[in-house]
Structure formats: C-alpha cells, structure tokens
Structure 1
Amino acid sequence: MPERELAQHLDVGRPLLREVMKSLAMLGFLNVRQGSGTYIAKADIRVLSDFFTFCLSQEQDVLEDVMQARMAIECQAIRLACERANEADLARIGQWLGTLIDTLTDPEAGGRADFMFHQSIVAASHSRALTTLYGAMAELLQRSHVQRRVTTYRNPEIVRVLVDAHREVFLSIVAKDPDQADRRLREHFAIGDELRRRSLIETYRGAPAKQIN
C-alpha cells in the first residue's frame, strides 16, 4: 500500500508515519528495500530480548521479578524435557554440569555455566514458546547467575549444595521422571535462596562497623 494511502487509512500524517516506520525498521520489525517496498521482517528473538531487557531494566528489583518468571518457565520445561529430551540434549546438559563443577571458584565463568545448564534444560523441552520466552530474558538471567555467584562462591556449604542440586536435577531428567525433576528443581531454587540469604547475613555481620567521627 502506498504511503499516502496508508497514512489516510490510519488517519495519521505522513511525517508521523515515516517516523514510526523508521523506528520499526530500526527495531527489526520491518525490512525496507529500496525500490521495492517495505515488508514485515521475520521475527528475531534478539530484538525481543533487547526490548525486554531495556523495558525491565527501568524497573526496581527487576532480577527478583525475573527469577519468579524463570521458575515458572523452568518447572514446566523440565517436565517436558523428561519426555522429549534426546541424547544430544542430555549430552549438552551433562556437559554444562561438568563445566559448572569445574568453574566453582570463578564467579563469571561459573555463573555463565550455571545459566547455560538451565538454558539447556529449557531447550530440551523442545517447546518453541518456552524457549522464546526464556531467550527473551537471557541477558537478565545470566546477569543474575553471575551476581549470585559473586556473593556465594566462597561459602563451601553453598558450593556443595550447588553441585549436589544440579546433579540431582540432571539425573532426574535422565531417569525421565517429571515429578521428581519438578520437585528437585523447586528444592534447588528454595535451598539456594535460603543459603544465599544466610551468606549475605553472615557477610554483613562480619563487616567492620563504620567509624563515627
């Protein structure tokens, strides 16, 4: 449809229409081809992820909110993974479990391995909707994993529980037991949150008080 007709159809001015079209093209929603026309572009998860990250980053306490969404997605994904995961999926999850164990003293690499372990579980669900939603939160989730590792990697109790919890989650997928997998994953989230809270309390209790002049 020509620009003039589209502007009349939408009841907007042509300058405004041009600006909107330009913005949509910059976001990747439209594909402008010189001499041919403007077409709706193929959906790109990176665009959704960037948009999602930008919007949520404006909110306070966003990571806690994202964690709740993450739990909802992963708990459904792990049930599907127990039914649908193939040998390649299991190998990938196991590989990231091994990397997670090898990087326990490195918050950056360990946080990424932790994120990739969980992302591989979601991918093993073979659910396009769940993987798309999870992918849209990927940057925020990976940031959360790294931040949590920074506050906990020196605590041997948390490290031990971290390894045991991830191993049990993996084994429950291998066993194709969705109820156990769901339970192990929820326990992992709950225990991890409790240990992180205790670690923060111990850290602040052990910090020297500021001198009062």
Structure 2
Amino acid sequence: MTISRTTEAEIFSATAAKLAEQGYDVIAEPTATLLPEALKAFRPDGIAIGKDPKLVIQIAGEGPQYSKRVADLQKALKDLTGWKLHLVVGTELAASEIPTADDASILLNINRARRLLEDEPEAALLIAWATLEAISRSRRPAEFARAQSPGRIIERLANEGVVTASEASSLRAMAVKRNAFIHGDLQQAINAEELARFLQIIGKLMNSQVLRTPPVSEAM
C-alpha cells in the first residue's frame, strides 16, 4: 500500500480513517501497556484493535533504516497469534526534510510560548511542541530531518538519558494533551504550571551536551 503524502502524521491520519471505516479502533503511538510482550520494545506508529486480526501500523519510507525496522517487526510478529503487520509506505517520507532552525529562532519561540502561558495556554502548548522538535532537529539534523511524532521524540530522548524519567513522564502527559487538542478536543485543560514545567525542560535541552552527541551506534 503506497500513499504519496508529505508527512508521516498525514499518512497515519489517512490510514487511521480507512481502518476505522473497516471497524477498527485505532490508537496512535500506543504505550507499552497496550502492546503484547513481543512488541513492547518497538513502539510502533499505531495499533488497530477491536476486530481480528489486530494490526500493528508502521509507516515507512525508502531507505535501510525503514527496511531494518520492518524486518524486525515481521520477525517479532511471526510467532504472535492474532496480530498482523499493517505496513504503509509513504513515497515522500524520505524526501520531506524540514529546514533546521537556528538558536535565535528557537529562543524567540520559547519566549513567545512563555508570554502566552496565562492567556493562551493552547497556543503556548503548540508553540512549545514545535520548539521541542526544532531543538531536536537542530542538534541531530540527520536523525530528525523529517517530521516527527511527539511520542517518537520523547522515547528517543528518554532512552538515551537526555531527559530524566520524571521529565519524560511530564512530556508524555503534554503529548497526550497536544494530540487531543489538535484532533478537535477543545475542552482539554492545559494549565500554566504544567506548561511552565514543559518550557523548563525545553530550556534544559537547549544547553544539553548529550543531545548534541549522536548515539555511538549512529556516530560510527
């Protein structure tokens, strides 16, 4: 199945809509508690449940990094009863790179979010997420060149120790609110205190030497 779209988020949204029409309940960026043991280490783009077979949704582009992940997923699913890989290949994923922001632009947007904390918390939340992704891309341009889901950024930073377990927990909570809000849940309660904590973490990442250093396996 090939879908020509410019971002992984758009591809996932289109895929989720089609699966919902088939009677599935689609969950984006499922937590480990929702996954069978064999899949907990993968954190796939999504799962589709509610009917058989259950589906593991993986968005892939062209390139060896995608091929390896798909092969590993297929191996994990081989002996897993009731689950099947639902692979979606986006032909534009590899090419849809986003320009890297400079530090001046990043700092400008951090300050914009701070000014909006009290009066426009929803706007502050969206600006903060955009800024977090911009920082990640600025420090690791090869790794984060294309659009990233919030969950993928958080798990990468947490797994490498760039953020603490407590910070990762805070980021996950904010990601849930961000996802709900952009998908139309206008009743999301977003308060200034948790946003201030979010911006504190972003400020820390600006100066993180760990984030500036790619993992050993990727640097070699």
TM-score bracket relative to the smaller structure: 0.3 to 0.5
Name the larger-Rg structure. Answer: 1
Q: Which has the higher strand share?
A: 2
The two structures have a TM-score, normalised by structure 1, of 0.39
Query: Larger RCO: Structure 1 or Structure 2 (Cα < 8 Å, ≥ 6 residues apart)?
Result: 1
The two structures have a TM-score, normalised by structure 2, of 0.38
